[in-house]
Structure 1
């Protein structure tokens, strides 16, 4: 029986979460449909006003021909570390960017390079600016046809088709940059739902700040137990302080009791390691 309606889900990977798996800043995104490299595009401060171009390389990894629209979308970080889509904000890089193509088709294993050009206006204040370049799948004619309603009596059926989309962060830097990430506070709370770590991170300066956050359980006379391995933490220019609750994962055969929970932040400066120790009962 054919579905009465199709429910379309758009999956967008923005790569801007407060905490994400640590990866090299110029790594790659490898998904079931698109292989994208690099996963993040940076335009460092330019010496003059001439435009600068970067390439984003794409490969269709699926076994079907796929069509994509390319567009800029702004995502702004909030005070709880999430990101939300907005039309514009003070530190958007959208006004300085041009790109081509804006639509493309890729056969299986076919490759394409998207050109992104940045041109910085003369009077732009020093600091960094960011946005995302979104690659969004165009539904095939077959999917569009299936979305049309059909008479199936009183029965209602839903067929979930995913419209694929992935966003690549674009960061434009201008002038002299300065920033630092500080681990201000950390607290632990045990509830019926599990053990939670509350953290407060502060960003200073005129640019984003990043570091690697880790959590370990230390008991005197025993080997430390890693609770959270190094995770990349990034605060964008638009937020000065982020508060976030993190659910601590359960480690098989290990109890979070006694000793101390050590919360450690390693920033981009290798010598800048900050830590807070929380006693555990």
Structure 2
């Protein structure tokens, strides 16, 4: 093991890292990030890969933030002064480097992630969000603009935030689905239902909507989490008019499955008639 690798092999009490090559890639602007979700429950560190797929050299700043999930599934930014003790502990657990990178077009870069010691922390799930944001380029001020006029240029800043989840100790979770109904959203019909969670860790996976006796699901929605700060999340799945017609008034099966790379096991299921 090299000195560099040793520097990032931090421990967290006899546990192991969960990461797979099947983790998806998330894109925003000209930046690709893989994986989109990191779970650490071990003594080994891991890495996230950034790739600049744009046509210009770009600098990115990497920071840690606290976000809380609302009952609608939105991730809300939390000011540092308002963080709980567990959230403050999560910020102190994660170490990463580098914190700023400049990438040429089509140049990948690894961000190494490790953990500080967690002695004294109660068993549980801790979470931060790692934010990757492009740093805007500054243009030189010409004599003409400096003396004759003031120009304001608005530069949009985009970023990608991925959860970094730390699990410590014996954790358990159960989930259930209820109250399925058809709603109308701004972009068309929705299949809405309540997903509830009990326990001291999050759940994450995909929802499948199918008709009894049919092998293929009508609808699959991936990447839906329910984090420990909420016990109930309202899930809304966008439907086409044809899908809504097929579901309305008949029996459907709504199932919540773990991700395929984690075995795809059933988390919860609901058989119901949707009206």
TM-score normalised per structure 1: 0.72
Q: CA–CA distance in 1 between the matches of 2:208 and 2:48?
A: 31
Q: Which residue of 208, 211, 223 corresponds with 1:232?
A: 223
Which residue matches 1:38?
Answer: 35
Which residue matches 1:53?
Answer: 45
Q: Which residue of 71, 75, 86 corresponds with 2:67?
A: 75
Larger RCO, structure (CA 8 Å, separation 6 or more): 1
Q: Which residue of 204, 208, 211 corresponds with 2:202?
A: 208
Q: CA–CA distance in 2 between the matches of 1:133 and 1:117?
A: 13
Residue 257 of structure 1, CA deviation: 4.5
Residue 262 of structure 1, CA deviation: 3.2
Q: Which residue of 99, 103, 109 corresponds with 1:102?
A: 99
What RMSD, in angstroms, separates the aligned Cα atoms of the two structures?
Answer: 3.6
Q: Which residue of 164, 169, 184 corresponds with 2:158?
A: 164
Which residue matches 1:128?
Answer: 125
Describe the SS at the equivalent of 2:113: strand
Which residue matches 2:272?
Answer: 277
Which residue matches 1:186?
Answer: 180
Q: Which stretches in structure 1 are left out of the alignment for 5+ residues?
A: 1-22, 47-51
- The alpha-carbon distance between structure 1 residues 191 and 56, as it changes in their structure 2 partners (threshold 3 A), is closer
| 2:54 corresponds to 1:62 | yes
Going by fraction, where is strand more abundant, 1 or 2? 1
Which range moved further: 70-79 or 195-204? 195-204
Q: CA–CA distance in 2 between the matches of 1:120 and 1:139?
A: 35
Is residue 76–residue 89 contact of structure 1 (8 Å, CA) maintained in 2? no
Q: CA–CA distance in 2 between the matches of 1:74 and 1:81?
A: 15
Residue 247 of structure 1, CA deviation: 4.1
Residue 189 of structure 1, CA deviation: 4.3
Q: CA–CA distance in 2 between the matches of 1:230 and 1:193?
A: 16
Q: CA–CA distance in 2 between the matches of 1:216 and 1:158?
A: 53
- The alpha-carbon distance between structure 1 residues 142 and 176, as it changes in their structure 2 partners (threshold 3 A), is same
> 1:51-87: CA deviations, max 9, x gaps?
x422222222111010111111111111222110013
TM-score normalised per structure 2: 0.73
Which residue matches 2:240?
Answer: 249
Which range moved further: 28-37 or 119-128? 28-37
> 1:224-264: CA deviations, max 9, x gaps?
88542243321111111122444433238966545334323
Q: CA–CA distance in 2 between the matches of 1:186 and 1:253?
A: 13
Q: CA–CA distance in 2 between the matches of 1:68 and 1:99?
A: 14
Residue 172 of structure 1, CA deviation: 0.9
